[in-house]
Chain A
């Protein structure tokens, strides 16, 4: 079954600290993996995209990793800011004839002052 699991479900960290969010997937055939940031009451916005051959990709203070062999990805946030408080959703795209996205349940991050 095509699934995306994220951990932890929620996380509270102090401003300025680092954190790492995890994503494990069983989606097949794999096309790519995206991390989205979703502010409360808003639509998700893409942070990074990882293809099969990519191991690490950075976008400012966000660094995503992908291990296609173990089907795991992580999103590392460095020097967290209050504005990082949001849900982070891991989304895997299947490499089928029709574009099909499989969403994780997300990790709710709260950055506390």
Chain B
């Protein structure tokens, strides 16, 4: 069966520090991968999606970047965090042509 792992679960970082959130998927090949952010009281906002290794598309301009160094690994990064980067970050995967996205447990990021 397929599983998705996302870590860490919670993170408190000072303004200006770097960020690296990692997401890995097991049990499937060539998944579509997503990073979403959910600000307090807001809906899920798509940040990045990837259809393959090294292929990253961004939905909104921002202080973050994403990379996909391996087929089932998706990394969300920042060189210098801003207060506005605080939020709940979710990684998700979906099979190509599938009808459902499967979500990780999320990372609660607080920038102080």
Give A contacts to B, CB under 8 Å.
Answer: 31-32, 34, 41-46, 49, 89, 91, 93, 98-101, 103-106
A-B pairs with beta carbons under 8 A, tally: 49
B36 to chain A, nearest CB (A): 8
How far, in angstroms, from A100 to B57 measured CA to CA in the complex?
12
How far, in angstroms, from A106 to B42 measured CA to CA in the complex?
8
Q: What are 5 A-B contacts defined by CB distance under 8 Å?
A: A34-B100, A43-B106, A44-B103, A99-B98, A103-B45
Q: Contacts A44-B103, A49-B100 known; list 10 others, CB within 8 Å.
A: A31-B99, A32-B99, A41-B88, A41-B108, A43-B92, A43-B103, A44-B90, A46-B100, A99-B96, A106-B43
Residue of B nearest to A45 (CB): B103
B7 to chain A, nearest CB (A): 13
Q: Is B73 an interface residue (CB 8 A)?
A: no
Interface residue tally of chain B, by bracket? Answer: 20 to 34
A43 adjacent to B108 (CB under 8 Å): no
How far, in angstroms, from A95 to B43 measured CA to CA in the complex?
21
How far, in angstroms, from A43 to B36 measured CA to CA in the complex?
11
How far, in angstroms, from A107 to B90 measured CA to CA in the complex?
18
**What residues of B have a CB within 8 angstroms of the CB of A31 in the complex?**
99
How far, in angstroms, from A105 to B37 measured CA to CA in the complex?
12
Within 8 A of A (CB), among B78-112: 88, 90, 92, 94, 96-101, 103-106, 108
**What residues of A have a CB within 8 angstroms of the CB of B100 in the complex?**
34, 46, 49
Residue of B nearest to A36 (CB): B103
A interface footprint on B48-91 (CB within 8 Å = 1, 0 otherwise): 01010000000000000000000000000000000000001010
